[in-house]
A and B are shown apart, each in its own frame.
Chain A
Amino acid sequence: MEATAHIDFIAAAYAAAVIVVGVLVAWVTLDYRAQRRTLADLESQGFARRPSLRGDGAIGAATGTSKQPAKEQA
């Protein structure tokens, strides 16, 4: 009866939820992997984060403000 008449809408709603949540989860995981990979690549090329903190003039020049490096390093 009525339940069967509207079952497709219920299914569609749950499917939409699965898709939206799935896209979010995929975005978060794929993004995480991509960032980790790039980070590893850069670090293997010798661009370590910590040592460069001392002489950060280069980053300051690149971003254009003096306050930047402290936050960027975060």
Chain B
Amino acid sequence: MPLIDLANPSRFLKLADSTIPWLSGLTVLAFAFGIEQAMLAPEDYQQGATVKIMFLHVPSAWLGMLAWGVMTVAALGTLVWRHPLADVTAKAAAPIGAAFTLLCLITGSLWGRPEWGTYWVWDARLTSELILFLLYLAVIALWHTVDDPSRAARAAAILTLVGAIDLPIVKFSVDWWNTLHQGSSVFRIGGSTIDPSILTPLLTMAGAFTLLFVTLLVAAMRNEILRRRVRTLHLLQASAVS
């Protein structure tokens, strides 16, 4: 029996307990710094103040993809090494990734309304982001349909890997689909190259969002480990009663 598998989650709990306060503090600091820079950033000569939405929009888009990447690595861990911590990581990352993808969609449509005159267009980027969101919901639905956690982990791992293969194809086909129907000139985001005065706050905010993601992931993983312990004890309780 791999003793390390038994030990690791407990060790992870200890690690999480000691790092979460630090991570939370760092995240708050990073956000304070990032938002200050975002507020001070000059307005875009074309888009005016709405460019400030970008400081939320782009980092959340990036995290929506990063979360799927984390889930993909965790899926390999689940299928190849059968590591329980990988199951926990994959389950904890899914709702967080879904939330950031949703935030990306919301901020995107709030940005689109003043810039394009509509909340939603079936533009390539928007559409592939929407499909990413739907896939997150499918993975979460799968986690909630299978009662046995390690079986759910393996099913979700396979769906995650298939999704990881499919997402680039979706992205590329949606790009293609867009160019088939309408010229790409209408909905070009951001204009030409990004000026450092905009880029610096953007990167700071991206760093802050990444820290937030890590903090939330570690905390959600801790919850998941605890949930599994609760489940084991409940099973024990049930078998003791019967």
Q: Is there a direct interface between A and B, measured as CB atoms under 8 Å apart in the complex?
A: yes
- Minimum CB distance partner of A20 in chain B: B103
Majority-rule SS of A interface residues: helix
Q: Are A74 and B113 in contact (CB under 8 A)?
A: no
Q: Are A68 and B233 in contact (CB under 8 A)?
A: no
Q: Are B237 and A24 in contact (CB under 8 A)?
A: no
Q: Does A54 contact B (CB under 8 A)?
A: no
**Cβ contact of B237, chosen from A7, A28, A39, A47, cutoff 8 A:** A47
Which residues of chain A from 1 to 50 have a CB within 8 Å of any chain B CB?
A: 1-3, 5-7, 9-10, 12-14, 16-17, 20-21, 23-25, 27-29, 31-32, 35-36, 38-39, 42-43, 45, 47, 49
Q: Are B216 and A49 in contact (CB under 8 A)?
A: no
What are 22 of the A-B contact pairs (CB < 8 Å)? A5-B114, A6-B114, A9-B114, A13-B53, A13-B56, A13-B110, A16-B103, A23-B99, A24-B216, A32-B226, A38-B230, A47-B236, A47-B237, A58-B239, A62-B239, A68-B148, A70-B5, A71-B84, A72-B149, A72-B231, A72-B235, A74-B10
Q: Which B residues contact A (CB, under 8 angstroms)? A: 1-2, 5-6, 8-10, 43, 48-50, 52-53, 56-57, 60, 84-85, 87, 95-96, 99-100, 102-103, 106-107, 110-111, 113-114, 148-150, 212, 216, 219-220, 222-223, 225-240
